[in-house]
Structure 1
Amino acid sequence: MTTEQKLKFSLGGGLTDNYVIQLFILGREEHPEWFYPGIEIESIFDSFPGLVWNGGRLVEGSLTMDDAMARVEFFNSRNIGVNFTFTNCLLTEEHIDDPLCNAVLQNFANPLNGVVVYDPRLEAHIRTACPQYKIISSVSKCIYDRRERLIADTEKYDLVVIPPEFNRDLAFLRLFPPEKVELLVNEGCPPYCKERMQHYIVTSQMVLGLRAIEDNPYNPCKKVMRKPPAGKMVLTITELFEILAATGISHMKFNNRGNPSVERSLQEIIKYFVLPRHSLAFNSFMQDKIRQLRGDKINAADYAVFKISVIVPVYNTEKYLAACLDSVLAQTHQNLEIIIVDDNSPDNAQEIYNKYARYDKRIKIIKHLHNKKLSASRNSGLRQASGDYVHFLDSDDYIMDADYYKIMLKYAVDYNAELVRSGFYNERTTHRLDGVWLLGSLRDLSRKLTLVEEAPYCWCFLFKREFLQKYNLEFDISLLCGGEDLIFSFEAAYYANQIVLVPNVKVFYRKDGAFRKSNNEQRIYSENLAHRKISEFAERHKFQDLFRRIFETNR
């Protein structure tokens, strides 16, 4: 094998059972020494739930378009393509016009991504509507006895998946243009299985709602249960490199979507990608991360040592202050430092917080002699903070979950994250995060900045205080009436190596709070100033084109 020749894998899964593949990718980035050299992850293949074009495997559950875009972006930002398995073999003309499928098709059209096709009408539709996609001929066509058609298909398609029955037929494989074919390396079905096409039909029926999910005679496949697949179809990693050297074929398809358990998926990943001497370390890494993502029960004692500084600016919020402080004091994580910053509030807020401070010694008071506005108030609290992590909670907001800090802290510590973000709620909006997502390093800059653009509010973040000190991050006191959260969160997200988005915990946010009250002209001026400042920051750090694409198109 020459230094230029590498195996280029397409991995099954990543859009639905995403955490195993996602963590595998992050593990490769964090510990490249654990893995076989000469292997690239070129793409994944999968589909989203609710898409009638899907075939091959049943994809259950639900997903918002924002979540779908985040999952695709995780891979695309790493130059890993997403190949959608649009291989349903029972489609009608009506299905071709399905609005949800067509929306997905349009949203992810770029030359990095592809579609795996079965139905010729759907194929023609995709070629016309979104010619950017790679078009891949599916193995679900079950072409066993028409070798000439397989060869001819390489002129029509960007990639042709070869039936695994031919995996060891080197003479036949040499007839193909090597860059135009892909080998399915670990098919679980027996060779020349007469029921394989029927399996695809049953799956297509279930996707279209024509058959109940529990009425699946091929789950598990009885033939596989009676007689394990013959070895001639399943290739070892050594054999893959030998095939590459003998034929030049580098595209390999790793069939992971049908694995019945996470443990089985890990076994297959280890077999093909992990050097034997590092298999235990990799397995331990993956098991730890998977337990965290599954939300296993938190042992509070393990995290009690970490202190959170809760910074609460107060100005004209006597109506809401008690609810705010009650929500903090009710937290099951007790190692808190509650810093109240009275920004010369003209109401009776002082009487309220003094009453709380008399019976809870965790509360500290900072008083401003004159009104300095929100940014300066937060900075005053931050300079006095001694906690490992910092949460900025406005005094007219409150935390909705008693385990909020316990859960946020767990993810912050487990992932060594500089930022951990929750959802939020108000009378008009619920911003909910479905599933834990990891955004690591500058590879995810596009997604990190999109995260800030969508919801820049610092009160739904837990910040690592050491991180804020390292980059001298404070709130801009020239922003008196808006935009202070945007620029602070923007710079923090840019510098962060690890951001974790955590579902199922929320902050209640009042959009008309006292600190936010200002006339329209002042607010517009302040927000425009913030926008100019982050534009200048993007220019200094040489990502102004990305900044314009994300921020200016949404203004």
Structure 2
Amino acid sequence: MKRTAYYHLPGLFEFYELYRVFLPLFRTHREYFYDWCEIGSLYGAPSDCIWGGGRTGFGSADPGEVLALTQEYGISARLTFSNSLLREEHLADPKCNALCARFAAGGGVQSGVIVHSELLLDYLKRTYPALYFVSSTTKVLTEFPQLLQELQREEFRYVVPDFRLNKAFSELDALPQTLKDKVEFLCNECCWVGCTDRKRCYENVSRKNLGEPCPDHRCAAPKAAEGYRFSKAMASPSFIGVEDIRDCYLPMGFSQFKIEGRGLGSALILEFLLHYLTKPEYQLHVREAVYLDNMLDLF
């Protein structure tokens, strides 16, 4: 049976201007893009949200415009509220609550929240039951029994495992289809597979979003000073490319794929859109359509 790959793309607030150009292209020139994939969601958060976590964002797009764009194109909007260090007093934050209320009342396609904190999850379930929830990769679930336990939790529609479980094929293939449908693979992580500091790195981001003083996290991974390189991600044993999705993961029964990149520039996000969604013979057409838009400055 033919299956569809659903991509969850970064930069709901951070790359609004890019998606404002790309989404009409994706709709009106569907022949440019693989017929076996769709856009499942855009995810992100404004830069000053204390509930935020994962990679720091810099989004400043208007929430109303962001929500209107996703609703127009039938795409779910996800708020990245994966701060792992929240305390009870943080739950009353007016900005984060206002965002949740707005997205919960958006109508049309259901919006979601990517969450780490159990405290926040319980609060959101009670307060905004119209939202759905995604278990964040910031939990760093590196052991398959941990992933299995998380997948069995009814409150999560999707679970993003640690990227180092991407190729655990024997265990993944043994999952029942109901749980396969919940696995959302992080495809293009370039972090070193031997990293033991990943959780501390995410906690550092969480502390900064809370405004707590803390030194910058210094990654000790090989060649960490280079920053993100798509070429480095593609060389990782955990990388999931377009051929892997089409020829391996879809036939195994998996359909959810997350692309990281909220902290990267829009030019690199475009490269992800070209690799994962665009047929090779039409990639130049998509580049030209985006580059020639006078309202968009790629960086």
How many Å apart are 1:222 and its aligned residue? Answer: 6.5
Say how many residue pairs are matched.
285
> What pairs up with 1:450-489 in 2 under 5 angstroms?
none
2:14–2:262 Cα contact (<8 Å) kept: no
Paired residue for 1:207, among 206, 209, 228?
209
Structure 2 counterpart of 1:182? 184
How many Å apart are 1:124 and its aligned residue? Answer: 0.3
1:16–1:48 Cα contact (<8 Å) kept: yes
Question: Any idea what the Cα deviations from partners look like across 1:259-306, whole Å, max 9, x if unmatched?
Answer: 2x33222222211111111111111111112x42349xxxxxxxxxxx
Secondary structure of residue in 1 paired with 2:86: coil
Structure-2 change in CA distance of 1:293 and 1:226 (3 Å): closer
> What pairs up with 1:255-266 in 2 under 5 angstroms?
255-259=260-264, 261-266=265-270
Distance 1:48 1:122 in 2: 18
Paired residue for 1:240, among 229, 234, 245?
245
How many Å apart are 1:221 and its aligned residue? Answer: 7.5
2:14–2:60 Cα contact (<8 Å) kept: no
Question: Any idea what the Cα deviations from partners look like across 1:329-385, whole Å, max 9, x if unmatched?
Answer: xxxxxxxxxxxxxxxxxxxxxxxxxxxxxxxxxxxxxxxxxxxxxxxxxxxxxxxxx
Secondary structure of residue in 1 paired with 2:57: coil
How many percent of aligned residue pairs carry the same amino acid? 25
1:9–1:253 Cα contact (<8 Å) kept: yes
Paired residue for 2:69, among 69, 74, 82?
74
Give the letter for the 2:296 counterpart. Answer: L
Distance 2:123 2:174 in 1: 30
Give the letter for the 2:259 counterpart. Answer: F
Structure-2 change in CA distance of 1:293 and 1:264 (3 Å): closer
Distance 1:243 1:211 in 2: 45
Secondary structure of residue in 2 paired with 1:44: strand
> What pairs up with 1:436-447 in 2 under 5 angstroms?
none
Paired residue for 2:41, among 40, 43, 58?
43
Paired residue for 1:276, among 273, 276, 280?
280
Distance 1:58 1:267 in 2: 20
Paired residue for 1:198, among 186, 197, 200?
200
Distance 1:268 1:224 in 2: 21
Question: Any idea what the Cα deviations from partners look like across 1:438-471, whole Å, max 9, x if unmatched?
Answer: xxxxxxxxxxxxxxxxxxxxxxxxxxxxxxxxxx
Secondary structure of residue in 2 paired with 1:29: helix
Give the letter for the 1:288 counterpart. Answer: L
> TM-score, normalising length from structure 2?
0.87
> What pairs up with 1:98-177 in 2 under 5 angstroms?
98-109=93-104, 112-145=110-143, 147-156=144-153, 157-176=156-175, 177=179
Distance 1:95 1:49 in 2: 16
1:190–1:223 Cα contact (<8 Å) kept: no
Distance 2:40 2:220 in 1: 30
Distance 1:216 1:30 in 2: 44
Structure-2 change in CA distance of 1:272 and 1:218 (3 Å): farther
Structure-2 change in CA distance of 1:270 and 1:123 (3 Å): same
> What pairs up with 1:390-429 in 2 under 5 angstroms?
none
Give the letter for the 1:231 counterpart. Answer: S
Q: Which has the higher strand share?
A: 1
How many Å apart are 1:134 and its aligned residue? Answer: 1.2
Structure 1 counterpart of 2:88? 93
How many Å apart are 1:217 and its aligned residue? Answer: 4.0
Structure 2 counterpart of 1:461? none
Structure 1 counterpart of 2:54? 56
> TM-score, normalising length from structure 1?
0.48
Give the letter for the 1:31 counterpart. Answer: H
2:33–2:277 Cα contact (<8 Å) kept: yes
Distance 1:99 1:113 in 2: 19
1:14–1:22 Cα contact (<8 Å) kept: no
Structure-2 change in CA distance of 1:179 and 1:201 (3 Å): same
Structure 2 counterpart of 1:504? none
Structure 2 counterpart of 1:292? 295
2:116–2:138 Cα contact (<8 Å) kept: yes
Structure-2 change in CA distance of 1:239 and 1:87 (3 Å): same
Secondary structure of residue in 2 paired with 1:89: coil
How many Å apart are 1:16 and its aligned residue? Answer: 2.3
Distance 2:140 2:98 in 1: 29
1:188–1:224 Cα contact (<8 Å) kept: no
Distance 1:116 1:283 in 2: 30
Distance 1:162 1:81 in 2: 20
Give the letter for the 1:232 counterpart. Answer: P
Structure 2 counterpart of 1:9? 7
1:11–1:253 Cα contact (<8 Å) kept: yes
2:197–2:219 Cα contact (<8 Å) kept: no
- Give 5+ residue unaligned stretches, structure 2: none
2:7–2:258 Cα contact (<8 Å) kept: yes
Paired residue for 1:20, among 3, 10, 18?
18
Secondary structure of residue in 2 paired with 1:292: coil
Distance 1:226 1:49 in 2: 24
- Give 5+ residue unaligned stretches, structure 1: 296-555
